[in-house]
Amino acid sequence: MTWRLEALRGKFTQIKQPSRDAAADTAPVEKTVEDIIANVREHGDTALREYSLAFDKVNVTNFEVTEEERRQAVADLDPQTREDTEFAIANVRRFAAAQLATILPLEIESLPGLHLGHRVIPIETVGCYVPGGRYPLLSAPVMTIVPAKVAGCDQVIACLPPNAHPAMIAGCHLAGADRVFRVGGAQAIAAMAYGTETIPSVDKIVGPGNAFVNEAKRQVFGQVGIDQLAGPSEIFIIADETANAATIATDLLAQAEHDVRTRVGVVTTERKLAEDVLREVERQLEDLPTAPVAGAAWKNYGEITVVEDEETMIAYSDYIATEHLQVHTRDPHATAKKLRNYGSLFIGELASVVYSDKCCGTNHTLPTMAAGRYTGGLWVGSYVKIATHQWLDERGVAAVAPAAVRQSATEKLEGHRRAAALRLRPKQLAAE
């Protein structure tokens, strides 16, 4: 990544620089998480109870949320909240189903008698981590559970902190979770990876969390699959002289209120706009109820960069590879086609990140810390495997076996050579 930044030197000016490095600004959690995982593997539910009491201040007797408790949580939702949750579920389900329809099985006859293909196979058991977080994020279970159900996973379990808002349990139920457990943090990741007396082991773990959850996912990867390693939320907005400073400031602060470590920024070709955004952010913070969080994020991780032209703006944006990227330019669709590194793209000033965060249908579980250079976000394809297969008739054997025999002999792998030659007719063998 350093060479990319060096190529931009002298082509941009930072009106506001972040005062801290989000990538390096992480507590040393590796050893703590390692100990938690080992304890859960050895002591199962007993360890989970100890951690729930120590970390969440809750004495959990039954980890699994009963069907009656789930239904009661739904019944306790006020009607509008339930309607809005179901609206989000319907939109996410509709988009996930449309995405799944693009992932097709394949069968081709590559050469006469050589048949190749792949199947689209749902992952059998998926574990969805649902963070409790600073706020009751009602969309969190929707984003992880609904695509799993659309993909056709046999069993979808959800883990959420024991002190999570009851509406989160309702969200898990409405989204279609097969089982819901009251356990959070790194211990939940360990439980889903290795299983306990109560919680089944899964094949893949998805969902965002804090630094401990993220580290736990990293450590159990291999034993299970994971979706990604996600850090604090991010938003950048690229803008030209047609953009509105107040709108940009509002969207930046909307994301900044997620967490004090949220990374927010603007990259623009217009210096006046940059200066207006700086003033507007400070003005809006004055009466924003979540200013203690959003203001800290802005102070420590906020960035405003002025670049000399659109080409540099595109290059700088691709270097940042932000989680959420909004495009506020004269022709946002044309600008969008030139971008390649981001988690999710929001084209035009009417497309706010908050719509995707809550209910529009695309997934809000996205890559951070420049991981958008090599991956997209969570989607229905994260819950299926593309597994290849092949079958041959005698014509196919005649086509591929001689080359396999010769290559095996060159490599001095006699067992390979024999297996490749076994299916050839004697006259074909003689020719070799």
Residue 130 Cα distances to 19, 218, 366, 397, angstroms = 31, 17, 15, 51
Judge contact between 419 and 186, C-beta under 8 A. Answer: no
Nearest to 311 by CA among 238, 252, 243: 238
Q: What share of the chain is helix, strand, coil (3-state, %, to 5)?
A: 45, 20, 35
Catalytic: which of 257, 323, 328, 364? 323
Neighbouring residues of 163: CB distance < 8 A, sequence distance ≥ 6: 56, 57, 58, 132
Q: Could you tell me the end-to-end alpha-carbon distance of the chain, in angstroms, rounded to an integer?
A: 51
Residue 99 Cα distances to 80, 147, 378, 382, 384, angstroms = 29, 10, 12, 11, 12
Residue 388 Cα distances to 104, 115, 121, 148, 242, angstroms = 12, 11, 10, 21, 49
6: number of Cβ within 10 Å: 9
Judge contact between 268 and 239, C-beta under 8 A. Answer: yes
Strands 384-392 and 344-347, how do they pair? unpaired
d(Cα 110, Cα 91) in Å, to the nearest integer? 39
d(Cα 75, Cα 383) in Å, to the nearest integer? 30
Judge contact between 186 and 37, C-beta under 8 A. Answer: yes
Whether 416 is a known active-site residue: answer no
Helix (H) / strand (E) containing 29: none
d(Cα 240, Cα 273) in Å, to the nearest integer? 8
Q: Is 97 exposed, middle or buried (0-12, 13-18, 19+ CB in 10 A)?
A: middle
Catalytic: which of 173, 215, 257, 324? 324
Whether 324 is a known active-site residue: answer yes
Helix (H) / strand (E) containing 50: helix 45-55
Residues known to be catalytic = 323-324
